[in-house]
């Protein structure tokens, strides 16, 4: 079992990422760090607590991370988020108020301490902006060499962005932090290149609904909201993208994707803000900082995804 920390802005696909990590027998989910993006950080933290409670995973600590990028005074909610994830971030499905509170400790210190404790056995999966990870690296630069694996959901190299013509949402929230992280930490990038090919449909959510359990019905409602949103924004896809749970799957089983090594950086100039690019001047450089996922074994992943989530939902 690998120790895993999720750093997420709990929205709908982030909620599925939590479920995947809770369900996978190869994962020991040791904590969640809250980020901002799909929702404000406080709401994301509440959503994480609610989802964990729904799934019976009440021993997983939740920390509130940073609320905005270092360049903004306050977080401006992405205009598309409420349409895609609902006003409350989880498809406007009302889950009971969580019985637990978030932890009082500092989220960045929690992460740094976990790297010190678990080293190569620890995996970090950020599925929101990279603000928290950048802050941790600034405070303790050595952690990039000590941690076992960082697998992010973010960016794109072979397709345009999803919030602007050049930027994917997580990177666009804090391109400066993303650029720092890309240049300093070896990581695997699970971007739109592969997540837009890993889709879920009403057929799968119906299977959850048919379980007649609290979590099965709640997740069916939550994800149906997301599928409906995709029908409006991306009618050609015929389903919703499993962005964040795919990153969790790849973090544990890298064989779900094929990667190419590139020296990635993020543009912070206004015109191309948030674009992730492989440095063309360093294509001959054998030392690369990022493994970019470019192909996906969609069938194998979807099989694992449904086995894990349906198994978990059948119990709660």
How far apart are alpha carbons 126 and 33 in whole angstroms? 9
Minimal distance, residue 154 CB to Ca ion, in Å? 9
Region of 255 please: left (phi>0), alpha (psi -120 to 50) or beta: alpha
How far apart are alpha carbons 121 and 140 in whole angstroms? 18
Is residue 134 a contact residue for ligand BDR (CB under 6 A)? no
Minimal distance, residue 42 CB to ligand BDR, in Å? 17
Is residue 267 a contact residue for Ca ion (CB under 5 A)? no
Binds 168: which of ligand BDR, Ca ion, none (CB < 5-8 Å by kind): ligand BDR
Map the footprint of Ca ion across residues 126-185, applying CB under 5 A. 127-128
Q: Is the CB of 118 or the CB of 155 nearer to ligand BDR?
A: 155
Closest by CA to 7, choosing from 204, 152, 201, 105, is 152
Is residue 5 a contact residue for ligand BDR (CB under 6 A)? no
Q: Which residue is catalytic, options 7, 9, 13, 134?
A: 9
Residue 9 to residues 6, 81, 260, Cα–Cα distance (Å): 10, 11, 27
Is residue 289 a contact residue for ligand BDR (CB under 6 A)? no
Is 244 considered catalytic here?
no
Is residue 14 a contact residue for Ca ion (CB under 5 A)? yes
Segment interacting with ligand BDR (CB under 6 A) among 23-31, 43-51, 166-174, 296-304: 166-174
Minimal distance, residue 195 CB to Ca ion, in Å? 10
Binds 169: which of ligand BDR, Ca ion, none (CB < 5-8 Å by kind): ligand BDR
Is residue 14 a contact residue for ligand BDR (CB under 6 A)? yes
Is 9 considered catalytic here?
yes
Q: Is the CB of 135 or the CB of 278 nearer to Ca ion?
A: 135
Minimal distance, residue 215 CB to ligand BDR, in Å? 20
Binds 267: which of Ca ion, ligand BDR, none (CB < 5-8 Å by kind): none
Structure token pair of residue 39: 């929702």
Q: Which residue is catalytic, options 85, 180, 243, 308?
A: 243
Q: Which of 13, 24, 53, 193 binds ligand BDR (CB under 6 A)?
A: 13
Q: Which residues are catalytic?
A: 9, 243
Judged by the rule CB under 5 A, the positions of this chain that interact with Ca ion are 9, 14, 127-128, 244
Judged by the rule CB under 6 A, the positions of this chain that interact with ligand BDR are 11, 13-14, 37-38, 127, 153, 162, 168-170, 243-244
């Amino acid at each position: 079992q690998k120790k895993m920390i999720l750093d997420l802005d709990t929205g709908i696909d982030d909620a599925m990422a939590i479920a995947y990590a809770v369900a996978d027998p190869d994962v020991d989910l040791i904590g969640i760090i809250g980020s901002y993006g799909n929702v404000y950080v406080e709401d994301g933290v509440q959503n994480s607590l609610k989802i964990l409670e729904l799934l019976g995973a009440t021993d997983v600590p939740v920390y509130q991370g940073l609320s905005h990028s270092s360049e903004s005074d306050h977080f401006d909610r992405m205009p598309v988020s409420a349409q895609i994830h609902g006003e409350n971030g989880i498809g406007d499905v009302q889950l009971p108020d969580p019985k637990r509170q978030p932890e009082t400790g500092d989220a960045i210190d929690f992460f740094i301490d976990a790297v010190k404790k678990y080293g190569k056995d620890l995996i970090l999966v950020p599925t929101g902006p990279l603000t928290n990870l950048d802050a941790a690296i600034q405070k303790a630069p050595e952690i990039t060499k000590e941690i076992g694996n960082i697998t992010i959901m973010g960016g794109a190299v072979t397709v345009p962005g999803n919030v602007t013509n050049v930027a994917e949402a997580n990177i666009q929230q804090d391109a400066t932090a993303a650029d720092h992280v890309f240049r300093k930490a070896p990581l695997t990038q699970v971007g739109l290149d592969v997540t837009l090919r890993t889709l879920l449909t009403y057929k799968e959510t119906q299977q959850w609904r048919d379980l007649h359990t609290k979590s099965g019905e709640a997740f069916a409602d939550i994800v149906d909201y997301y599928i409906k949103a995709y029908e409006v924004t991306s009618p050609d896809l015929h389903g919703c993208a499993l962005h964040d749970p795919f990153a969790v799957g790849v973090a544990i089983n890298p064989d779900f994707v094929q990667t190419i090594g590139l020296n990635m950086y993020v543009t912070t100039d206004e015109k191309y803000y948030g674009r992730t690019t492989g440095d063309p001047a360093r294509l001959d450089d054998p030392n690369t900082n990022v493994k970019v996922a470019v192909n996906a074994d969609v069938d194998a992943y979807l099989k694992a995804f449904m086995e894990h989530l349906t198994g978990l939902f059948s119990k709660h």
